[in-house]
Structure 1
Amino acid sequence: MGKLADVLEKAGYGTEGTEKQKPSQSEQPKNRSAKPVERAAPAPRTKLVRSNDNSGKWDERLFKAVNSDAYIPEIFKTLRSHILHPLEGQKVPKTIMVTSAIPKEGKSFVTANLGITLAQGMDQYALLVDCDLRRPSLAPMFGLNKSPGLADYLRDDIDLSELIVRSSVDKLSILPSGDPPVNPAELLSSAKMSSLVEELATRYDDRLIIFDSPPFYVASEATVLSRQVDGVLLVVRSGGAGKPQIQMMLDTVGEERIIGVVFNAYTTNIVERSLMKGYGYYQQSY
């Protein structure tokens, strides 16, 4: 994909006094040929303003992680490699559930970053599905206004193609949570949800589906969803869930289904940060 400036422009950022056109919400992605990244001097900072359309500014944390940090993008590139190149004899997972033991572990932040990194790969498209029907946060992270989504599909039988929207990142689409339902556990545990997971996994050969799940010990439907996907990515926040809670979740899901563990809010030391400075070249692609 292009440089970060192109992504931010599509996300509703621009110089003061400018307005951007509303991005297309068509589900069909555009296939762009990859171009080599050239090292360039940092562009002068400009004041960022919100455009007058359906999309607005990204969540500040996500914006900083993608735009201002060389360390975080490299971590997610490593995670991408781990997912796309599993051990010999294992298949690449098409459907991945991202969850945590308890709330406020940063699972949605991890989901968003993983989706961006997968979409920036040479051959993959990514679809993020917000399954946290109680406390949805994926769509707002990308500056997308409230719109119908997963709950509306499961409850009202709305056509799926009308609900999936393209984000401002090439090759990255989002299925929002939709209007909050009164029965989230029943919807996500339904046969229709199971059929949806299977349909999304088989519809596109080059697309990875990432499900942002409710926290494991808050919503019973997280257990059901974990049995329908190819693998589970566990987010653990430093100072968050305790070892007994994490172990119980591993026992419930099955360690063989855990494709990775992300330690969130881990404090890096000066040596680790200095080692990442040499990767500034790669940061230009964000």
Structure 2
Amino acid sequence: MTEQPKFQRRKRRGTVSAVEQPKRPVSKPAVPTITELQAQIAEKEALLQRTAELEAEREHAAEQASQEARRKKSASDAKLKEQRHAKMAELEAQRVRDAAAKAELERQARAAKPKTPLVLASAPALQPKPAPILDPEASWKSIDRFELDAQRLADRNVITALRQDPSHTRFDILRTRMLQALSENGWKRIAITSPTKDCGKTFTAANLAISLSRQENCRTVLLDLDMRSPSLHKIFGVSDTGAIGDMLRGDIAPEAHLQGFAPNTISAGSHVALGFNGIVEPYAAELLQDPSTQAVFEDIEKQFNPTVMLFDLPPALLNDDVIAMRPHIDALLIVAAGGSTKANDIKETERRLGEKIPLLGVILNKAENADVGDYPY
């Protein structure tokens, strides 16, 4: 027999063994029986029942713990309440003891007092309250101030503003003579009036106020009391004037109504206070005679301590306003218009004011052919 190669023999053997090896049966999963399923279900139900019992036990334990905590807290609160009551009772007892001790001390003090009371030889003198200290400078600083338009003043014949008209020196002379007369006689309140209309009394008052403002240590108050025909505010170009009647009635404080010069280029000083008026007062004479007017004048003197108070009054022969002002003034200036004012008008003006009102002088305004060397007043 011819010998076969080894790999062929192995091949044949492997083929035979593969053919001859018997096949193993494939195992199928076992299907549980009904009995086994019922047993599993019973086991799960028992487990769930146990779980529920454990949960109930935990809830019961928690409820008992909560009740115990509430009981302890209630007991603690009751104890604290009892302690507070005890403390309050102790304080009340102490208060009663203190009151009793105080009453006993008062009884002993009364028993120790002498039977006859002591009598002073004279009653102690009452010390007067010190008067409030008024600072005039504070009042001057508190008033409102308005701008001065030098050209406007010059256009309205306020010759003391720019001082270009040589006649301004006449107002400086009038200022100096007037201040000397006030100092010598102890006067302060000066009325400026005229016999009739259009004599220039307001023009005189405005020029005199600016001239006085340049006098060192001179404090001037100028009030527009021509309440039937006010015009001082028009000369100075002030529109926010208010009503001077309200100030005289006491409805407005003087420091709230009066106005002063703002810093300017014409060297007009800051110690001039002007009381403008923009509302016609039909009962001017009645208001000037009212006690409130005198009280306001005194208040101005206390607060501002003016050196001079100028009152621009209406014409003396037109109504009784100047006569009503007679108790409030110390001296009088009469402004006459050259060529129109008659000597009898000036005499009648003096007569109406009475002999008790000193006449500082008669100022001749609108005089023709008067040079600087003449003094038409």
TM-score by length of 2: 0.54
**Structure 1: gaps spanning 5 or more residues:** 1-25, 31-52, 277-286
Q: Residues 68, 261 of structure 1: CA spacing in aligned structure 2 closer, same or farther, 3 A cutoff?
A: same
Deviation sequence 1:20-62 (CA, Å, 0-9, x none): xxxxxx95249xxxxxxxxxxxxxxxxxxxxxx9876436223
Q: Residues 97, 87 of structure 1: CA spacing in aligned structure 2 closer, same or farther, 3 A cutoff?
A: closer
Q: How many residues align?
A: 225
- Aligned partner of 1:28 in structure 2 is 140
- Aligned partner of 2:156 in structure 1 is 61
SS of residue in 2 equivalent to 1:195: helix
Q: Residues 201, 87 of structure 1: CA spacing in aligned structure 2 closer, same or farther, 3 A cutoff?
A: closer
Distance, in Å, in 1 between the alignment partners of 2:236 and 2:279 is 18
- Aligned partner of 1:262 in structure 2 is 363
Q: Residues 100, 174 of structure 1: CA spacing in aligned structure 2 closer, same or farther, 3 A cutoff?
A: same
Which structure dedicates a bigger proportion of its chain to helix? 2
Contact 2:228 2:282 in 1 (8 A): no
Distance, in Å, in 2 between the alignment partners of 1:29 and 1:113 is 23
SS of residue in 1 equivalent to 2:247: helix
- Aligned partner of 1:240 in structure 2 is 340
Q: Residues 204, 114 of structure 1: CA spacing in aligned structure 2 closer, same or farther, 3 A cutoff?
A: same
Distance, in Å, in 2 between the alignment partners of 1:131 and 1:149 is 11
| Aligned positions of 1:96-115 closer than 5 A | 96-115=190-209
Most deviating of 65-74 and 230-239: 65-74
Distance, in Å, in 1 between the alignment partners of 2:335 and 2:181 is 19
State whether structure 2 residue 315 is matched by structure 1 residue 215: yes
The residue identity in structure 2 corresponding to 1:191 is P
Distance, in Å, in 2 between the alignment partners of 1:28 and 1:111 is 20
**Structure 2: gaps spanning 5 or more residues:** 1-137, 263-267
Distance, in Å, in 2 between the alignment partners of 1:264 and 1:75 is 11
SS of residue in 2 equivalent to 1:158: coil
Q: How far apart are 1:150 and its partner, in Å?
A: 1.3
Root-mean-square deviation (CA), in Å?
Answer: 2.7
Contact 2:139 2:304 in 1 (8 A): no
State whether structure 2 residue 280 is matched by structure 1 residue 186: no
Contact 2:224 2:276 in 1 (8 A): yes
Contact 1:133 1:181 in 2 (8 A): yes
| Aligned positions of 1:85-164 closer than 5 A | 85-86=180-181, 90-155=184-249, 157-164=251-258
Q: How far apart are 1:216 and its partner, in Å?
A: 0.3
Higher relative CO (Cα under 8 Å, sequence separation at least 6) belongs to 1
Greater C-alpha Rg: 2
